[in-house]
Structure 1
């Protein structure tokens, strides 16, 4: 039986931590933000990236770890930027993606998240996905990353126009974290 201890969430992105923490608190799960960049390997799979990073951080902290990696996959660009989303955000940003899609009618895209949980007994990956559309302008001030240009199916707002609680009803990260919570609540008891 696991103690109701603390899970260290490794991310340099406080917004990601806040999204997870909002859901964790409602489920009596204690998270601690470790402000560190995940150790990314060059890989074509989000799962490979988080598994590697989580195992490295577990070897450092020797306590339960949770690592997230998310990607934006644009249909017309054959899934680009995918697992290279963080690099593309830093180099092209929202305006660069909009420029790549200039004049293109097919704006379908999806966000996908892989979360890796590791402790002294298991390593387990949880995934979440949300389909949506890349709009043609930048809207909203909430969120981060490509949130200002992505509208999830079922909404007219970009993720950047939503508060955390509303975003968590749609988001890929929330879907993956919900799967984690369903597992963890049973696992720790």
Structure 2
């Protein structure tokens, strides 16, 4: 049984599209400050595994705006609460207008998996606690040795990333949540899509699909 650390039933339903047995677990892990999603999700997965004692999934996601060097990124939830979604959209479009560029952005999601065991080498990153695994290039990840030393007290965490590109527009649509109304993909904002349409192209769905392929052979 996989335990998905979330209180969002929508995430669980999305995960069930790719995985047979998933159970939501409410666990308040430490959310470290980082400029990348990987270390945040990996830390959460370690704490969740220690708490649950069974295989766990933790995800972290954010909106990365090209014109702001990826900001708000891992700080998306905080920025949504303090600045607001519409204001982020206004700033991104204003910046794009100043530079003559299209206000492009991408949603990214990193899923962290931990079951207390090590992992065979694959193209997906492994976080060993000291972030060496996470910082490897894609080529190095594929050839990384499973005999690499592990920091005392840490367990390896496997990371899976999904992303979807689009552009920032005036808010449209009544569905979704968060930044969905200002994020347009192929002419439609995520807030204008049905749940099925959104799940089919979502950053989380793509990360889950990659994880599901790995987990089927785990």
TM-score of the superposed pair, with normalisation by structure 1: 0.86
Of residues 110, 129, 132 in structure 1, which corresponds to 2:163? 129
1:11-49 deviations in whole A, cap 9, x for unaligned?
Answer: 23333333222333xxxx211112345531011110000
Aligned residues: 175
Change (3 A) 1:21 1:91: farther
Name the structure 1 match of 2:192: 161
The aligned residue for residue 48 of structure 1 is 39
| Structure 1 ranges of 4+ moved more than 4 A | none
Checking the alignment, whether the CA contact within 8 Å between 1:113 and 1:128 is kept in structure 2 is yes
Give the distance between the partners of 1:131 and 1:99, measured in 2 at CA.
18
- Answering whether residue 213 of structure 2 is matched by residue 182 of structure 1, we say yes
Instruction: Tell me whether 1:146 sits opposite 2:179 in the alignment.
Output: yes
Structure 2 gap ranges (5+)? 119-156
**Matched residue SS, 2:17:** helix
1:111 to 2:107 alignment: yes
Q: Which sits farther off after the overlay, 6-15 or 44-53?
A: 6-15
Does the CA-based 8 Å contact 1:11-1:38 persist in structure 2?
A: no
Could you say if the C-alpha distance between residues 14 and 54 of structure 1 is closer, same or farther in structure 2, counting changes exceeding 3 Å? Answer: same
2:201 aligned residue: 170
Q: Which residue of 1 is the match for residue 12 of structure 2?
A: 17
For residues 86 and 48 of structure 1, the distance between their equivalents in structure 2, rounded to whole angstroms, comes to 17
* Consecutive unaligned residues in structure 1, runs of 5 or more: 1-5
Contact 2:62 2:72 in 1 (8 A): yes
**Corresponding residue SS for 2:16:** helix
Q: Which has the larger radius of gyration?
A: 2
Distance, in Å, in 1 between the alignment partners of 2:88 and 2:73 is 13
Does the 8 Å contact 2:174/2:192 carry over to 1? yes
TM-score, structure 2 as length reference: 0.75
Question: Shift of residue 60 of structure 1?
Answer: 0.6
Please tell me the root mean square deviation across aligned C-alpha atoms, in Å: 1.6
Superposed displacement of residue 121, structure 1: 1.4
Superposition deviation, residue 102 in structure 1 = 4.5
Offset of residue 86 of structure 1: 1.3
